[in-house]
Amino acid sequence: MDRDAVLAALRARVARIERAGLAEREEPPAIPLCPEMDRDLPGGGLPRAAVHEILSDGAGAAVGFAALLMARSGGTVFWIARDPDPWPPGLMRFGLPPSRLIVAQPGNHVDALWATEEALRCPAVSAVLLMEERPDATAMRRLQLAAETGGGIGLLLREAEADEGPALATTRWRVTGRAGGAMHDLGDPQWTLDLLRCRAGRPRSWQVTWRAGMESLVVDEEAREESDVTRRTRRH
């Protein structure tokens, strides 16, 4: 893999997107999800300049959640996978047009981590998705430093395992699809979002629906009522 040539090509493409006005904007320090979730997340949403883990149940729900986060990051996004399979109609349902997407297909684990680190270091890149790789502690520190340098978010998406080991990312999520929650389903995707770990925060769980027509993530009514009761109980 000619890394210098790949890096030059990626930088050139990012520069073209910047000139089109898709990456030059001021962004808030956190990516908002929905009011009920943002209230329970430090900083009022998913922190930028950080790396986050998303664990999948093997279906498309986790990919949909990642697409939503990338779409709301606001700029150019990278999809890095040894076997890339971005489905443009599915991504557009979550607000992510193909014009903002750059797909990279590394040949091995080392090149995948390298590409992710380089993309995260670029200030013009708002989000980087790394599929089905598991960085060790040293690689995680490098990715986190790269995210802090570039200011975007890193998303590590992989299938959940029986022994997940220590959580080294800023947050760790488990995303499970419910009725209508498949990536290619025509209904509104419905997910269970389990926040397993969050620095300066507590584990939580939400039942949500993505309303594609309104481009909004909503907490299901029954789950919202349970959450309100929990908050009232804590106050008393």
Long-range contacts of 209-215 (CB under 8 A, 24+ apart): 210/64, 210/68, 210/93, 210/94, 212/93, 212/94, 212/188, 215/95
The label of the residue with tokens 């090149």 reads 111
Q: How far is CA 137 from the centre of its chain?
A: 20
Beta-carbon contacts of 214 under 8 Å, excluding residues fewer than 6 positions away, are none
Along the 236 residues of the chain, how does pLDDT read in single tens digits? Answer: 556 655 666 666 665 555 444 444 456 689 999 999 999 998 899 999 999 999 998 778 999 999 999 999 999 999 999 987 888 888 999 999 999 999 999 999 999 999 999 999 999 999 999 999 999 999 999 999 999 999 999 999 998 875 666 678 999 999 999 864 444 445 788 999 999 999 888 899 999 999 988 889 999 875 454 444 444 444 44
Question: What's the predicted TM-score (pTM) here?
Answer: 0.82
Domains of the chain: 3-235 (3.40.50.300)
